């Protein structure tokens, strides 16, 4: 395959192709990326540079560092910052709250080449992503996806099947059918909506004697979530199980310990944290479904490195597909991170 053929397909001159493949510099990042993509598509791997050395800036925008999962995600990106190629610079923006206004404003202000975000479904968020795309800024979602937006990829777990897994666990553990309460942040987050959808679908298809009685939106706020649960327990004192799809696990544990219910319920939640470890050991929590933040962080960075032409990531292909598994933890297999 000749330099002329690569140049024709990439829409550049032969001299530009030569500068890119031999790393002579003085070529824009967009042109370098286009030439390398054409060269790889033509399988000219033997003459490609080993790595793409242009500096790439990635901004990570996360909100509510008080939530255990967000704290873990920050920790994982901190580890990556210490080990990542020096051609990649990671910036972090920490927002005190997760409103669409706050998240979309942070996205519009970025001066980075790419953004990794966790955000709710909202027209302001979608508009901000569209604006970034128009500027050539790649966006990768983590934790919760925005599938209707023009984001580059989602680097997270399958929340629908996480919800179905929760349904399976509840089906096998509940001894006698009764009311099942679901707690979430709010259904504007794709991850929470999909988990609720998944658990309901599982019950409908495999155990119609079980069903979700109430879905409570507590905003992942501990006091508000506990109040909502206590009120729900008073309405349905024969509740047999709780599925918390969000972060307010401590609120669930407090409500359970209040012994409003006739008997202690099965409690399935999400994420392995210092708090859920203790709940599992005490028997207040039955099982937790952990979405592997360390793998999400690594996969998000790998996707962007591949997108910007870094070598050594040939196993990644377009369109990027989420391949992050979730893990199940009970009192007998608790691990430390």
- The reported pLDDT for the residue numbered 222 is 97
Contacts of 8 (CB under 8 A, 6+ apart): none
Judgement on whether residues 211 and 298 belong to the same structural domain of the protein: no
Judgement on whether residues 242 and 181 belong to the same structural domain of the protein: yes
The answer to whether 268 and 288 are in contact (CB under 8 A) is yes
Say if residue 29's pLDDT is above 80: no
- The reported pLDDT for the residue numbered 39 is 82
Number of H helices, E strands in the chain: 12, 11
- The pTM of this model reads 0.82
Say if residue 1's pLDDT is above 70: no
Question: Which residue in this structure is represented by tokens 């392995």?
Answer: 272
Q: Does the residue 271 lie in any domain? A: yes
Max mean pLDDT among 39-48, 68-77, 159-168 falls in 159-168
At residue 20 the predicted structure's pLDDT band, cuts being 50, 70 and 90, is: confident
Q: Does the residue 304 lie in any domain? A: yes
Q: Show the tokens assigned to 110.
A: 């970025």
Q: Does the residue 178 lie in any domain? A: yes
Judgement on whether residues 238 and 123 belong to the same structural domain of the protein: no
The answer to whether 89 and 57 are in contact (CB under 8 A) is yes
Say if residue 28's pLDDT is above 90: no
Judgement on whether residues 179 and 284 belong to the same structural domain of the protein: yes
Q: Does the residue 327 lie in any domain? A: no
- The reported pLDDT for the residue numbered 151 is 96
**Closest Cα to residue 305, out of 36, 47, 44?**
36
Where in the sequence is the domain holding 13, given as residue range(s)?
3-47
Measured distance CA(131)–CA(134) in Å, rounded: 5
Coil, strand or helix: which one is 195? helix
- The reported pLDDT for the residue numbered 54 is 65
- The reported pLDDT for the residue numbered 17 is 84
Q: Does the residue 201 lie in any domain? A: yes
Say if residue 52's pLDDT is above 70: no
Judgement on whether residues 128 and 185 belong to the same structural domain of the protein: no
Judgement on whether residues 190 and 237 belong to the same structural domain of the protein: yes
DSSP secondary structure code for residue 291 in this structure? -
Judgement on whether residues 223 and 301 belong to the same structural domain of the protein: no
Distances from the Cα of 42 to the Cα of 9, 12, 23, 268, 286, angstroms: 10, 16, 19, 49, 53
The total number of structural domains that make up the chain: 3
Q: Does the residue 87 lie in any domain? A: yes
At residue 271 the predicted structure's pLDDT band, cuts being 50, 70 and 90, is: very high
Judgement on whether residues 235 and 281 belong to the same structural domain of the protein: yes
b/e sequence 314-323, b meaning 16+ C-beta within 10 Å: eeeeeebebe
Average pLDDT over residues 157-174: 97
**Closest Cα to residue 150, out of 139, 159, 161, 142?**
139
Judgement on whether residues 120 and 268 belong to the same structural domain of the protein: no
The answer to whether 183 and 227 are in contact (CB under 8 A) is no
Beta bridge partners of 88: 56
Q: Does the residue 326 lie in any domain? A: no
Judgement on whether residues 106 and 173 belong to the same structural domain of the protein: no
Measured distance CA(93)–CA(88) in Å, rounded: 16
Average pLDDT over residues 153-180: 97
- The reported pLDDT for the residue numbered 62 is 95
Average pLDDT over residues 82-95: 88
| CATH code where residue 202 lies | 3.40.50.2300
- The reported pLDDT for the residue numbered 269 is 98
Q: Does the residue 324 lie in any domain? A: no
Chain segment 227-269, per-residue pLDDT in tens: 999 999 999 999 999 999 999 999 999 999 999 999 999 999 9
At residue 53 the predicted structure's pLDDT band, cuts being 50, 70 and 90, is: low
Judgement on whether residues 101 and 197 belong to the same structural domain of the protein: no
At residue 168 the predicted structure's pLDDT band, cuts being 50, 70 and 90, is: very high
Range in 74-83, 134-143, 144-153, 326-335 the model is least confident about: 74-83
Give the residue from 269, 290, 311 where a domain finishes.
290
Question: What's the mean per-residue pLDDT of the chain?
Answer: 91
Judgement on whether residues 213 and 286 belong to the same structural domain of the protein: yes
More confident residue, 321 or 157: 157
- The reported pLDDT for the residue numbered 7 is 85
Chain segment 99-147, per-residue pLDDT in tens: 999 999 999 999 999 999 999 999 999 999 999 999 999 999 999 999 9
Give the residue from 290, 306, 330 where a domain finishes.
290
């Amino acid at each position: 395959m000749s330099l002329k053929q690569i140049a024709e397909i990439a829409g550049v001159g032969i001299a530009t192709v030569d500068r890119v493949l031999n790393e002579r510099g003085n070529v824009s990042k967009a042109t370098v990326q286009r030439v390398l993509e054409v060269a790889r598509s033509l399988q000219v791997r033997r003459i490609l540079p080993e790595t793409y050395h242009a500096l790439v800036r990635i901004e990570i925008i996360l909100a509510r560092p008080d939530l255990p999962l967000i704290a873990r995600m920050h920790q994982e990106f901190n580890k990556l910052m210490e080990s990542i190629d020096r051609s990649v610079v990671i910036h972090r923006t920490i927002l005190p709250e997760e409103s669409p206004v706050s998240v979309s404003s942070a996205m519009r202000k970025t001066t980075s080449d790419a953004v990794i975000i966790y955000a709710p479904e909202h027209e302001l968020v979608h508009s901000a992503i569209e604006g970034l795309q128009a500027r050539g800024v790649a966006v990768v979602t983590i934790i919760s996806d925005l599938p209707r937006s023009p984001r580059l990829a989602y680097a997270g777990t399958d929340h629908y099947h996480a919800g179905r897994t929760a349904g399976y666990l509840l089906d096998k553990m509940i001894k006698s059918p009764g009311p099942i309460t679901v707690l979430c942040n709010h259904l504007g987050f794709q991850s929470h909506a999909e988990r609720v959808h998944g658990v309901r679908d599982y019950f409908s298809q495999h155990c119609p004697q079980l069903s979700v009685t109430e879905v409570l939106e507590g905003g992942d706020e501990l006091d508000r979530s506990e109040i909502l649960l206590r009120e729900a327990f008073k309405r349905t004192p024969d509740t047999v199980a709780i599925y918390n799809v969000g972060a307010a696990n401590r609120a669930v544990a407090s409500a359970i310990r209040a012994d409003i219910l006739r008997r202690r319920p099965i409690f399935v939640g999400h994420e392995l944290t210092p708090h859920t470890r203790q709940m599992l050991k005490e028997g207040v929590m039955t099982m937790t479904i952990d979405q592997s933040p360390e793998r999400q962080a690594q996969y998000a960075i790998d996707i962007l490195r591949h997108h910007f032409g870094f070598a050594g990531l040939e196993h990644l292909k377009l369109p990027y597909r989420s391949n992050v598994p979730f893990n199940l933890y009970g009192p007998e297999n608790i691990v430390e991170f």
